[in-house]
Amino acid sequence: MQHVSLGRTGLKVSRLCLGTMNFGPLTDEEASFAIMDRALEHGINFFDTANVYGWSAGKGATERILGRWLAKRGGRREKIVLATKVYGKMDDWPNHGRLSAYHIRQACDESLLRLGTDRIDLYQMHHIDRATPWEEIWQAMDQLIRAGKVLYVGSSNFAGWQIAQANGVAERRHLLGLVSEQSLYNLAERTIELEVLPACRALGLGVLPWSPLHGGALAGILEKTDQGRRAGEMVAKRIEERREPIEKYESFCKELGERPADVALAWLLARPGVTSPIIGPRTMEQLDGAVRAVELELGAETMETLDRIWPGPGGEAPEAYAW
| Residues belonging to the active site | 53
CA distance 167 to 308: 35
The pLDDT value given to residue 225? 77
In a domain, 306, yes or no: no
Amino acid, single-letter form, for residue 30:
E
pTM of the model: 0.95
In a domain, 171, yes or no: yes
Listed in sequence order, the DSSP H helices in 42-133 are 61-72, 101-115
CA distance 274 to 136: 29
User: Nearest-CA neighbor of 115 among 18, 24, 25, 50?
Assistant: 50
In a domain, 99, yes or no: yes
Give the burial class of 289: count Cβ atoms within 10 A of its Cβ; 0-12 exposed, 13-18 middle, 19 or more buried.
middle
Amino acid, single-letter form, for residue 211:
S
The pLDDT value given to residue 227? 62
Domain hosting 76: range is 3-215+261-300
**CATH code where residue 26 lies:** 3.20.20.100
In a domain, 169, yes or no: yes
Q: Render each residue's pLDDT in the chain as its tens digit; 323 residues.
A: 999 999 999 999 999 999 999 999 999 999 999 999 999 999 999 999 999 999 888 999 999 999 999 999 788 999 999 999 999 999 989 989 999 999 999 999 999 999 999 999 999 999 999 999 999 999 999 999 999 999 999 999 999 999 999 999 999 999 999 999 999 999 999 999 999 999 999 999 999 999 999 999 999 999 887 665 666 777 788 888 889 999 999 999 999 999 999 999 999 999 999 999 999 998 899 999 899 999 999 999 999 999 999 999 999 999 999 99
In a domain, 24, yes or no: yes
* Range 30-56 burial, b when 16+ CB lie within 10 A, else e: ebbbebbebbeebebbbbbbbbbbbee
Q: How are beta strands 81-86 and 46-48 bridged, if at all? A: parallel
As for how many domains the chain has, the answer is 1
